[in-house]
């Protein structure tokens, strides 16, 4: 029998919170397939068949924070800490450009010893000879630092708010505040950064209602990129014995975000691929249009252990590039040859 309520919602252009909760709560296989099919169509209409690759370099795994979910938390004494040298980072970026990757993501823990001017020097050096986009994912930093890095040439900043419930946020992130995170995202947008945000799906105590609020917040913030990762329990963290987030709910979140925000960029995350060998394909088939492969060189890549058994931590990053290209073409999609800048208008005046 046809689910008329679902058909009606899928036909809408604007969605209420109740609609979002309804879609995220779908349980019948046929209904979920309808949702995914619709999200795939919207992705096709607004983003085309291109998959944008964002090449990630994990430049430091030092972290001053103690988030309860993250393997890199300061208290985890089992992590072998590293900080890449500026020249190593610049050389790795140059290799990525040769591979045909047009966005470089510089990612780290919240490492206050990553110096403002050195990061600016790295950004400037990478941009000097190429027109790649640079995305920073360095955690919460000072407002002046964001400005310096923008002037040096950075284009985008990822700061996932993880959970929009401010009490739980303070609990998950060990007393950091949700308000501050959102303020920083707004400031980044005003500086002209394209902003990336996201939610961890399946954090202990999280509800569907909260994930719906996350979606509405992305809409309000005019977010340019949204990532959904299933929570994966990590040893030597307070959440080590908690269950992992659901793959299905993560895929539903991707699909719903696609319906709501139409032309937003959405990755099929590495965490999704680590829990499910077909994670990338599944994500790309229900609304996602970007991948964020990891090109951190040896020996560092083994030590960036946000969670265990990361799918991408063992193989040689440049060998697995070929496999990645095959996985994309096997599902009939094309690799993009552009920077894949935001498709959304850059309005920030209401923020
Ligand atoms: N320190 C930076 C970014 C690096 S961590 C920051 O605070 O923004 C990148 C992302 O890894 C985090 O935003 C979080 O969403 C994800 N992550 C952390 N622990 C995780 C876990 N246990 N399972 C899945 N993803 C996790």
Instruction: Tell me, yes or no, whether 7 lies in a domain.
Output: no
**Number of structural domains in the chain:** 1
Q: What is the pLDDT of residue 348?
A: 67
Q: Which atom of ligand 1 lies at the shortest distance from residue 306's CA?
A: 19
Ligand 1 neighbours, Cβ below 6 Å, are: 69-70, 107, 109-110, 137, 139, 159-160, 162, 198, 200, 229, 231-232, 234, 271, 306-307
Q: Which atom of ligand 1 lies at the shortest distance from residue 271's CA?
A: 24
Q: What is the pLDDT of residue 351?
A: 66
Q: ∠ at Cα 54 (332, 249), nearest 5°?
A: 70
- Tell how far the Cα of 6 is from the centroid of ligand 1, in angstroms: 33
Q: ∠ at Cα 254 (341, 258), nearest 5°?
A: 60
Which of 70, 173, 226, 268 has most ligand 1 atoms within 8 Å of its beta carbon, as the pocket-test mutant?
Answer: 70
| Structural domain harbouring 142 | 16-335
- Tell how far the Cα of 257 is from the centroid of ligand 1, in angstroms: 19
Instruction: Tell me, yes or no, whether 25 lies in a domain.
Output: yes
The pLDDT profile of the chain, 351 residues, written as one tens digit per residue, is 789 999 999 999 999 999 999 999 999 999 999 999 999 999 999 999 999 999 999 999 999 999 999 999 999 999 999 999 999 999 999 999 999 999 999 999 999 999 999 999 999 999 998 989 999 999 999 999 999 999 999 999 999 999 999 999 999 999 899 999 999 999 999 999 999 999 999 999 999 999 999 999 999 999 999 999 999 999 999 999 999 999 999 999 999 999 999 999 999 999 999 999 999 999 999 999 999 999 999 999 999 999 988 876 666 777 788 889 999 999 999 999 999 999 987 766 666
Instruction: Tell me, yes or no, whether 63 lies in a domain.
Output: yes
- Tell how far the Cα of 110 is from the centroid of ligand 1, in angstroms: 11
Instruction: Tell me, yes or no, whether 227 lies in a domain.
Output: yes
Q: Which atom of ligand 1 lies at the shortest distance from residue 232's CA?
A: 23
Among 105, 112, 116, smallest CA distance to 63 is for 112
Instruction: Tell me, yes or no, whether 216 lies in a domain.
Output: yes
Alpha helix segments (H runs only) across the chain: 4-11, 17-24, 29-47, 86-99, 116-129, 143-152, 166-172, 178-190, 208-221, 247-261, 270-275, 279-284, 317-330
Omega prior to 247 cis, within 30 of 0: no
Separation CA 253–CA 211 (nearest Å): 8
- Tell how far the Cα of 28 is from the centroid of ligand 1, in angstroms: 31
Instruction: Tell me, yes or no, whether 77 lies in a domain.
Output: yes
CATH of the domain at 63: 3.20.20.70
CB 255 within 8 Å of CB 228:
no
Instruction: Tell me, yes or no, whether 204 lies in a domain.
Output: yes
The first and second tokens of residue 150, run together, are 């923008």
CB 164 within 8 Å of CB 213:
yes
Q: Which atom of ligand 1 lies at the shortest distance from residue 234's CA?
A: 22
Q: What is the pLDDT of residue 267?
A: 98
Instruction: Tell me, yes or no, whether 348 lies in a domain.
Output: no
Separation CA 70–CA 93 (nearest Å): 26
């Amino acid at each position: 029998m046809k689910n008329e309520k679902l058909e009606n919602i899928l036909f809408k252009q604007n969605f209420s919170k109740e609609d979002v909760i309804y879609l995220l709560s779908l349980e019948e296989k046929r209904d979920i397939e309808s949702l995914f099919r619709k999200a795939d169509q919207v992705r096709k209409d607004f983003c085309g068949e291109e998959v944008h690759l964002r090449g990630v370099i994990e430049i430091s795994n030092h972290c001053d924070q103690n988030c309860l979910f993250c393997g890199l938390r300061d208290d985890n004494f089992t992590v072998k800490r590293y900080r890449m040298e500026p020249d190593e980072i610049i050389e790795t970026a140059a290799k990525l450009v040769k591979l045909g990757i047009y966005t470089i993501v510089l990612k780290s823990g919240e490492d206050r010893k990553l110096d403002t001017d050195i990061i600016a020097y790295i950004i400037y050096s990478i941009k000097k000879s190429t027109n790649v986009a640079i995305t920073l994912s360095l955690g919460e930093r000072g407002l002046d630092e964001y400005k310096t890095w923008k002037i040096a040439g950075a284009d985008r900043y990822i700061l996932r708010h993880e959970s929009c419930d401010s009490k739980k946020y303070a609990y998950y992130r060990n007393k950091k505040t949700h308000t501050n995170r959102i303020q920083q995202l707004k400031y980044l947008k005003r500086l002209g950064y394209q902003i990336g945000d996201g939610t961890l799906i399946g954090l202990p105590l999280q509800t569907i209602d909260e994930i719906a609020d996350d979606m509405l917040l992305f809409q309000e913030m005019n977010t340019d990129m949204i990532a959904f990762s299933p929570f994966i329990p990590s040893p030597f963290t307070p959440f080590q014995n908690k269950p992992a987030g659901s793959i299905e709910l993560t895929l539903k979140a991707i699909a719903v975000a696609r319906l709501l925000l139409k032309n937003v960029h959405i990755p099929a995350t590495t965490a999704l691929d680590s829990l499910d060998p077909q994670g990338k394909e599944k994500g790309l088939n229900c609304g996602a249009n970007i991948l964020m492969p990891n090109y951190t060189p040896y020996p560092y890549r083994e030590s960036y252990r946000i969670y265990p058994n990361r799918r991408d931590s063992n193989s040689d990053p440049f060998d697995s590039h070929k496999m990645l290209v095959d996985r994309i073409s096997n599902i009939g999609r094309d690799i993009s040859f552009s920077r894949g800048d935001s498709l959304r208008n850059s309005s920030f005046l209401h923020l």
